Every structure is written in structure tokens, then in C-alpha cells.
Amino acid sequence: MVSKVKIGVVGAGSIALRGILPHLAMDDLNDRIVLQAVCDPVPGRAEAAAEKFGVERAFLEFDDLLKFGDVDAVSIASPIGLHYEQGRKALEAGKHIHFNKTMTTTVAEASDLIETAKRRSLRIVASPGEMLRPHNQEIKRLIENGAIGTPVWAICGAAFGQYHEKESIRQGSDVLSNVDPSWYYRKPGGGPLYDMTVYALHGITGILGPIKRVTAMSGTRIKEREFRGAQVPCDADDNTLITLDWGDNLFGLAYGTAAGRVTDGFGGSYFGTSGQIMGALLNGEPFPYPGSDLVASMPDRPARQFLLPHVVGPHRDPGAQEHHVYEDVMQLVDWVREGKPSIVTAEHARHVVEIIEAGYRAAETGQTQSLTTTLTGLV
């Protein structure tokens, strides 16, 4: 345990510039963290981010951050396809890790990181921490207490749309506002499952438990996208439907699609023999949960984000973004400083990675896939 955690931010792209760095640079955290280092492979971007957010050191290369950054922990916010390699190097260098979603692209990679961290007594917090949210905790309690009768089926998911191409942080002319989104559309690590549906899968498995089997259909529907007048070739699957099997004939559907949405945000919908929960509505009416009064009183603000444990004071200010990512970083900070384990575990993240990986494999082979992991480990 340490009094202050020296943090390095890996990647100064959209999520770091909009969420991680602005939150960690706030004065109310000075007693707990030091924003020690940032790295990014785009020349000048790390230096510009360091100057803007008061970061001690800036690096072009990740290896240099590990060697010369003098950090205790890293928040890995690079493209998903780089997470395993960078995470492995960080653990070998003795660093604790926060992974922005998704931790890895394969179960084998995730298991290797988990075992390496255990051997070296290092901590991993792997976003997204959907079960930190009070409304998800209440949905779990409601279902367990029979509010919708016997659960029958559920659905969750998300769609790409044109979100990444249209982000304002990608439309400018300077190094901090012209962030290229092309990696989102390419393998490995691209596609809406790894980028967006991962939230929904963390929530639905946290509420209903681990998945036992999956089947799927998947492919690339949009072969080319346009970004700032240039054509971006796409090879990552962007149109996927995964059938989920919890066992005992409880089924579900997870979607990661190029467009369209049938659920409330990244939340799931749950259907039972005597009722349904869709978003934060039970049988069409709002249900109470800790903080729901605040949410109802602030319809024009992201007030559900304000219910996360560390999203207080200036972290609720207008303009603050990606509160949930900041929260997950602080889960790691508390664990390192106080020895307080987080529920945002690498094991849960590994299980979600397996759902996605097995879904792709099921689509490719035409065969149902049995999963080997649970929320806490291996079957």
C-alpha cells in the first residue's frame, strides 16, 4: 500500500483526452494520486496532453514510459488490439493495471494476464464496472426477489452508428483534436462488440450470472467508412447477433451491430412470466434505487453517472465526460492504496471476452460453443 499512486496513462486518444486525464488532473485527487506520465505514438500528442493536464512526463514509446516514467500503475487506453501486449509488459515491469474496455481479445490472453498478476502480487481492474451502478444492483435484487416472476429471456447490446467518426475530438486541426478512429473498424480489437456491447454484457452477466453456451451469426456489413474525406477500409465484424444460454432454458440475445438499437442505452431488458424490466422501468414504471431521486431531478445531465462512488464534487461539473472510466481507475487506486479489492475484476472481464470470442467462433464454424469461464474464474 502507498499514500499516493503514481499513474501513467497509456494512449492519449479520445477516451484519455475526454475522460481519464481531465478527471485525474482535478485538484481533489492530489492526496491520492500523482498524474505522473502519459505516452502516445503520435508525435507531439503526449507532450501536448502533458502540458494541458499537468502531467509530469511525456513519452512517445510505451516501453520508455515503463522504464523512465516512475509509475506505480498504468491506465491502458490504447486500441484494444494492443492491450494484451502492453498489459503483459506492464506486469513484467511491476505495474498495477487499469484496462479500459475491453481487457483483451481472447481468453488465453486474459488468463495469462490474470495469472501473471497473481504471481507478482499486482492488481488488475478491468472496465467496465457496470455492477457499480445502483440501478443494476437493484435490477439484480428485483429479479432475484421475483419482481418479474420466473425470468424467461433477456436482450442487451449496442450499435456503432457513426459515433466515432462524428466525435468532436476528431474534427480539429491540432494534435489533441484530430484523433483518428480507424482502428475501431479493423481487426484485432475493432467492432461494436469489443467497443460497446462489452458494457451491456458486463451488466447482463452481473445481473443474471455467467453464460454457459453461445451461438451466433456475424460479419462485416459496412465494408468502408468515411472519415474527414478519406475512405477507411473495414474488416472487423460490425454486425453480430449472439444467442446466450444461461442453462435451464433461460436464453438471451446480445447484439453488436452497425446500426440500430432496441434497448435502453447499454442496459439490458429482462422478461419474465409476470413482468419485465426495460432500462430503469419495471412494468413500464420507474423503480426506486439509491440515487434515483437525483437522476429524476436532473433529466438533462448524466446523473446516473453521478451515482458512481467517486463521481463527486468537480467530477460532476458540466463538461466532465466518461465518468465511468474515471470511476474504474479510482477502483484501482483504492485497491493499491488501501488494499480494498474491487468488484470490477479481471475474471469478470475475461468471461465477457470469452462470450465475444466464442460468439465469433460459433459464427465461423456454425457450431454452438460451450464456455469455460465464469465471473470468478474457470469452470
Q: pLDDT per residue over 252-290, tens digit each?
A: 999 999 999 999 999 999 999 999 999 999 999 999 999
Q: How many CB atoms lie within 10 A of CB 195?
A: 24
Please report the pLDDT score of residue 115 as a whole number: 98
Q: Which residues pair with 155 in a beta bridge?
A: 253, 269
The mean pLDDT value for 217-236 works out to 97
* pLDDT at residue 377, rounded to an integer: 95
Give all strands of the β-sheet with 151-159 in edge-to-edge order.
285-286, 281-282, 275-278, 269-272, 151-159, 250-257, 239-247, 213-219, 369-370
pLDDT band at 321 (very low <50, low <70, confident <90, very high): very high
Give the whole-angstrom CA distance, residue 206 versus residue 366. 27
Beta bridge partners of 252: 154, 244
pLDDT bucket at 2, cuts 50 / 70 / 90: confident
Q: Kindly state the average pLDDT of the residues 16-33.
A: 98
pTM for the structure as a whole: 0.97
Indicate whether 149 pLDDT > 90.
yes
Q: What value does the mean pLDDT take over residues 42-57?
A: 98
Instruction: Provide the CATH topology of domain 131-308+344-370.
Output: Dihydrodipicolinate Reductase; domain 2 (3.30.360)
| pLDDT given at position 319 | 86
Three-state DSSP at 9 gives strand
User: 326 exposed, middle or buried (CB, 10 Å; 0-12, 13-18, 19+)?
Assistant: buried
User: Does this chain's domain 5-129+331-338 share its CATH topology with 131-308+344-370?
Assistant: no
The per-residue pLDDT for 130 is: 98
Percent of the chain with pLDDT strictly greater than 90: 98
- The ranges assigned to domains in the chain are 5-129+331-338, 131-308+344-370
Q: Where do we find the cell 460532476?
A: 316
C-alpha cell at 58: 511525456
What architecture (CATH level 2) is domain 5-129+331-338? 3-Layer(aba) Sandwich (3.40)
Rounded Cα gap, residues 221 and 229, in angstroms:
21
Q: String of b and e for 180-192 (b: at least 16 CB within 10 Å)?
A: ebbbbbbebbbbb
Calculate the alpha carbon distances from 278 to 140, 155, 259, 305 in Å.
13, 10, 20, 18
Cα dihedral 184, 351, 340, 118 in deg (nearest 10): -100
Question: Mean of the pLDDT values across residues 346-357?
Answer: 98
pLDDT of residue 25: 98
Mean pLDDT of 124-149: 98
